[in-house]
A = this chain, B = another copy of it.
Amino acid sequence: MRPTITAFRDSPDRGQGLARDMPVRWALEEVGQPYDVRLVTFTEMKAAAHRGLQPFGQIPSYENGDLALFESGAIVLQIAERHGGLLPEDTAARARAIMWMFAALSTIEPPIVERDAAILVEGNAPWFAARQPLLEERVRHRLTDLSRALGDAEWLGPSFSAGDLVMIGVLRRSSGSGLLEEHPNLVAYVARGEARPAFRRAFDDQYAVFLAAARREEEGIN
């Protein structure tokens, strides 16, 4: 069975691979599972047909036979459970890999997204500059703790897992902010993830979608 995922037809990140189809693509590449992509416009994302798959009108969704899922974390976990290579065999190590997936999405990502959203939505507000230190401090707190937890290790567990995949995807959002760069071990950790052939293939595939969108834009097609 060949799964189908959805992704932005016109990704707002302009090919940086920061949209949430990226961890799903990466996981599918890691396990060697070919997949189809259905690109959706912003209008299609908010329409009833897509909301039947993804009630929050977002991407990605994942369809595989009778199974329809949303939430990139849940999709990555599903892929990791169906295929070998993304979760350790040892029960305790497996539970800890899943734990890092939750930590990425529920402890590390929210302050990063909050800061990004402030820049995007409140960048011109009179209070923007005054709030920045507060938002940066929230991200800094989490990254400092994560940096200490990773230490000199290559990955968060004994070997690369779905926990690293999701965590690196989240940390990439902070790349270039100066905050990630305060922790050389986290920068190196992200680079190790990005150097994996499966990451490259996933990145190139989502970048090709961006290039097609950019070409349409240039040619005035929409």
Mark A residues whose CB is within 8 Å of B: 51, 55-57, 66-67, 69-71, 73-74, 77-78, 91-92, 95-96, 98-99, 101-103, 105-107, 109-110, 113-114, 121-122, 125-127, 130-131, 134, 142, 145-146, 148-149
Contact = CB atoms under 8 A, between A and B. Distances in A.
A56 B142 contact: yes
A159 to B, nearest CB: 18
Given A55-B145, A71-B99, A127 B134 contact: no
A146 B78 contact: no
Contact of A110 (B56, B103, B114, B142): B114
A113 to B, nearest CB: 7
Nearest to A128: B127
A106 B107 contact: no
Number of copies: 2
B145 A103 contact: no
B131 A127 contact: yes
A69 B96 contact: yes
A39 to B, nearest CB: 22
10 contacts: A70-B103, A71-B99, A71-B106, A73-B106, A74-B101, A74-B102, A106-B106, A110-B113, A122-B131, A127-B130
A98 B70 contact: no
Contact of A66 (B51, B69, B92, B103): B92
Contacts of A145: 51, 55-57
Nearest to A92: B67
Nearest to A127: B127
Contacts of A101: 74
A142 B56 CA distance: 7
B55 A67 contact: no
A99 B121 contact: no
Given A55-B148, A74-B98, A131-B127, A106 B103 contact: no
Contacts of A126: 127
A57 B115 CA distance: 22
